[in-house]
Structure 1
Amino acid sequence: MIDPYQALGVAKGANEKEIKSAYRKLAKELHPDKNKDNPKATERFSDVTRAYDLLLDKDKRAQFDRGEIDAEGNPTAPYGFGG
């Protein structure tokens, strides 16, 4: 998955309102019901939804910004190695 900020097209310092607005716009455009013949749109819709979920969760967003988790919410150093 791409960077959640890039997925939504918002700056790293975006506030909750900006994130919600960007998500709504993209969700309307990419929703599977509007793009039945476009599997890429469905995939992008999933990416946008995951990005939205991550960025609206204050704890996960902070972890992502610190590099502790990846864009999918997985630990970047799951066994304590790294850094």
Structure 2
Amino acid sequence: MRDYYEILGVERSADDGALKASFRKLAMEHHPDRNGGCEEAEGRFKEINEAYSILS
């Protein structure tokens, strides 16, 4: 499994605000509804959600 901080693109010392901001940006970018049901985008979206739920 990849590093959750790497998935969200933040440093290990990132605070809650930085985690949330990065999560929101990536979630909007990879949301399946915005990408026409692309399976790759859906997989990335799930990965981003998992990383944020673990780190928050």
For normalisation by structure 1, the TM-score amounts to: 0.64
Higher relative contact order (CA 8 A, sep 6+): 2
Equivalent residue for 1:12? Answer: 12
User: Alignment length, in residue pairs?
Assistant: 56
CA displacement at 1:11 relative to structure 2: 0.3
Equivalent residue for 1:41? Answer: 41
AA in 2 matched with 1:15: D
Higher helix share: 2
CA displacement at 1:37 relative to structure 2: 4.2
Q: 5+ unaligned residues in a row in structure 2: which ranges? A: none
Q: 5+ unaligned residues in a row in structure 1: which ranges? A: 57-83
Deviating beyond 6 angstroms after TM superposition, the runs of 4 or more aligned structure 1 residues are none
CA–CA separation in structure 2 for the residues paired with 1:30 and 1:15? 23
AA in 2 matched with 1:3: D
For normalisation by structure 2, the TM-score amounts to: 0.93
